Amino acid sequence: MQNPFSVINFLISVPTPQQAPADRGAEVAFAGRSNAGKSSALNAITGRKALARTSKTPGRTQHLVFFELDEQTRLVDLPGYGYAKVPDHVKQKWGRAISDYLETRESLQGLVLLMDIRHPLTDFDQQMLSWCQHAQMPVHILLTKADKLKRGPAKSSLLKVEKTLEDYPMVSVQMFSALKKQGVEEARAVLSQWLSADEDERPAD
Ligand SMILES: Nc1nc2c(ncn2[C@@H]2O[C@H](COP(=O)(O)OP(=O)(O)OP(=O)(O)O)[C@@H](O)[C@H]2O)c(=O)[nH]1
Ligand SMILES: [Mg+2]
């Protein structure tokens, strides 16, 4: 299948949503615990190796980083949450940036929520899910780094998450590995659907 996400460019990196680009068209954001693999997933899904910066050091993405597919559609790499080693005031700043963004962004169509398949559904993840449920924001979970587990344990982690999600009708979940490019097509299909749906209801220019 052709990859509709390869034509993507870095747009802008901003510390707070107040400096974000114009809130028009449609946007999908990648959120999750620090080091969960957000930037790696963005690169795998777009097929662009060095688009978003990845790092072994948690807390790499400290800004909201906007990438543009065309004038009307964007993907956003959000700062990771829950990283213990950053000072409290930085944590608070990130938390505020993420919640302000989620609460105000009209063009946001859905959230890709990334969780390491070995440690899914942390307290932060659950808070995020509850918030999205409350805001009626669709969520697609990527259980990342699936290559780190054998097939059996990976499957049982997926089942465990699916079980929890019975209470969340707007949430879907899949396994993912940026390393092995596992689940890339499935993730692209969700993004394509979100970015093309309800064009009439999007915020206008
Ligand atoms: N084995 C394996 N490692 C991965 C995978 N995805 C990401 N990683 C590794 O996990 C680490 C963190 O990946 P990032 O993509 O930078 O994570 P992030 O969520 O963007 O992190 P922050 O920007 O700090 O929030 C890096 O060392 C990646 O190489 C994967 O699918 N498999
Ligand atoms: Mg990152």
The binding-site residues of ligand 1, defined as CB within 6 angstroms of any ligand atom, are 32, 34-40, 54-56, 58-61, 80, 144-145, 147-148, 177-179
Nearest residue (by CA) to ligand 1, atom 2, is 145
Output DSSP code: residue 111: E
Closest ligand 1 atom number to CA of residue 61: 23
What number is the average pLDDT over the span 161-179? 94
Q: Answer whether residue 195 shows pLDDT above 90.
A: yes
Taking the C-alpha atoms of residue 189 and residue 180, their distance in angstroms, rounded to an integer, is 18
Strand partners, 74: 27, 68
- Is pTM beyond 0.85 here? yes
Helix (H, G, I), strand (E, B) or coil at 165: helix
Mutate which of 13, 49, 55 for ligand 1 pocket (most atoms within 8 A of beta carbon): 55
- Whole-number Cα distances in Å, 134 to 127, 168, 203: 11, 10, 21
Rounded to the nearest whole angstrom, what is the distance from the C-alpha of residue 83 to the centroid of ligand 1?
13
Neighbouring CB atoms inside 10 A of 56's CB total 6
Which ligand minimizes its atom distance to the CA of 41? 1
Burial of 114 (C-beta count, 10 Å sphere; 0-12/13-18/19+): buried
Res 202: pLDDT? 61
Lowest mean pLDDT segment, chosen from 33-42, 91-100, 188-197: 91-100
Rounded to the nearest whole angstrom, what is the distance from the C-alpha of residue 34 to the centroid of ligand 1?
9
What number is the average pLDDT over the span 8-34? 93
Nearest by Cα to 149 from 181, 113, 118? 118
> Alpha helices of the chain — where are they, by DSSP H?
38-46, 88-104, 123-135, 151-164, 184-196
Mutate which of 54, 116, 174 for ligand 1 pocket (most atoms within 8 A of beta carbon): 54
Q: Answer whether residue 39 shows pLDDT above 70.
A: yes
Res 204: pLDDT? 60
Rounded to the nearest whole angstrom, what is the distance from the C-alpha of residue 181 to the centroid of ligand 1?
13
Which ligand minimizes its atom distance to the CA of 143? 1
Res 127: pLDDT? 87
The chain-wide mean pLDDT, for the chain, equals 89
Rounded to the nearest whole angstrom, what is the distance from the C-alpha of residue 94 to the centroid of ligand 2?
13
Helix (H, G, I), strand (E, B) or coil at 27: strand
Rounded to the nearest whole angstrom, what is the distance from the C-alpha of residue 201 to the centroid of ligand 2?
30
